[in-house]
Amino acid sequence: MQLYRRTLALPGVRSLMILIFFARIPMSAAGMVLTLHVAVGLSRGYGAAGTVGAAATIGIALGAPIMGRVVDRYGLRTMLIIVTLGEVTFWLTARLLPYALLLVIAFVGGVLQLPAMSIGRQVIAALVPMDLRRTAYSMDSISTELSYMVGPAAAVFFATQFSTTTAMAAMACGIAAVGLALFVINPAVRSQAELADADSERPPRRTWLTPRLVGVLAVGVGAVFVLAGTEVSIVAMLRTHGELGWTGLVVVIWSAVSAFGGLIYGARKRSTNQVTLMVVLGALTIPVGLAGGHWWVLALAIAPAAAVCAPTIAATGEQVSRLAPVAVRGEATGLQSSAFTMGAAIGAPLAGFVMDHSAPGWGFAVAGLGGLLIAGTAAVLILRRQVAAPDYAMSASAIS
């Protein structure tokens, strides 16, 4: 645990982890709130809810790098004003809209979503030296897992115990509180050494968005593709065996094992190849569908793959911070968020489509095989120009 003690002893890191954990809870609850409002509150069904979710997802994927670019050019507080006002307005008005208008406004709401994921990764890169970033990004992945344990459950509680419109109002309050806290604290997205560097002018995109970085982002797509496909497959498998009520517990076990894997990964002194982690995650997911019977059998079967989830996500953040120059860190982490969003947008529907035409076990197989295919593509991209691609982390270390 020495690496964790050293990381948490750095100025600002401990408070950052607490702040970002709470900042991500509304974001993790957003999809569930929107789904329940359309499917239950508006009585339009889950197909219509999925369409609204898709519109929001497209908006999130497009908005994340745009907001990252705003941070790069105008600073964190300017971006926070835009997204906080925009997203609070969305949640306050969306609960009053008919389905047709909600479908359009959901896209705008996605573009203006407060990018808590991206903010956390930028601040880590600014506060933590390169030799401790693996540990810091592992803690960030663990924090994300914990946020996703709380957020969706809170969304279900407000929607079922009160109403979906109340849940949407609670979302507006949560976003306002998070945006205000981030604005007041204003965590640094650049270190003092980086701010003092006269050479931190914005480089052309073609010089840093190299095939190697695209390959790193592709691993991000693949990791979340597997996770999204696995999540919907868990629901389908338990429903088939008449144990749908145990879904929450299985997901909590899945998340807890992932967090434990991230804890172990962050304590290691050497990195594991990102593509290797992606291959292991995909390969271990494929046979999960063979587990039948009780919920605890599924929980045990999914545990080995779960242990690789957080490390794969953490490795992606570590590599993005290494390959992206300081002047475009916001846009690069925004692209990473878009990659995660893209993986979720593809993985869940594809696994669901396959299971609708076969059996639940095939959902896990599709998720794992898709992850392996994306890992192969990423390996080609990363190896294509690995020698030529600049390592901006080394120059940043030299500055400090």
For residue 385, name the pLDDT band (cuts at 50, 70, 90): low
Q: What is the model's pLDDT at position 293?
A: 66
Query: pLDDT tens digit string along 291-346?
Result: 876 889 999 999 999 999 999 998 888 888 888 888 888 899 999 989 998 898 88
Dmax (CA) for the chain in angstroms is 63
**Is the separation of the CB atoms in 146 and 256 below 8 Å?**
no
Render the burial of 331-346: b for 16+ CB within 10 Å, e for the rest. bbbbbbbbbbbbbbbb
Is the pLDDT higher at 377 or at 131? 377
Average pLDDT of the chain to the nearest whole number: 87
Q: What is the model's pLDDT at position 244?
A: 75
Query: pLDDT tens digit string along 210-223?
Result: 999 999 999 999 99
Q: What phi, psi does 201 have (nearest 5°)?
A: -70, 155
Q: Is the dihedral of CA 349, 351, 357, 359 positive or negative?
A: negative
Q: What is the model's pLDDT at position 398?
A: 39
Query: pLDDT tens digit string along 140-185?
Result: 988 888 888 888 888 888 888 899 999 999 999 999 999 999 999 9
Is 270 exposed, middle or buried, given 0-12, 13-18 or 19+ CB atoms closer than 10 A? Answer: exposed
Q: What is the DSSP letter of 39?
A: I
Q: What phi, psi does 357 have (nearest 5°)?
A: -110, 10
For residue 22, name the pLDDT band (cuts at 50, 70, 90): very high
Q: What is the model's pLDDT at position 377?
A: 93
For residue 367, name the pLDDT band (cuts at 50, 70, 90): very high
d(CA 384, CA 388): 9
Which of 43-52, 65-74, 312-321 has the lowest average pLDDT?
A: 43-52
Alpha helices in the chain (DSSP H): 2-9, 13-36, 45-74, 76-94, 99-111, 116-127, 133-161, 164-185, 192-196, 205-208, 211-240, 247-267, 274-285, 295-323, 329-356, 361-384, 392-399
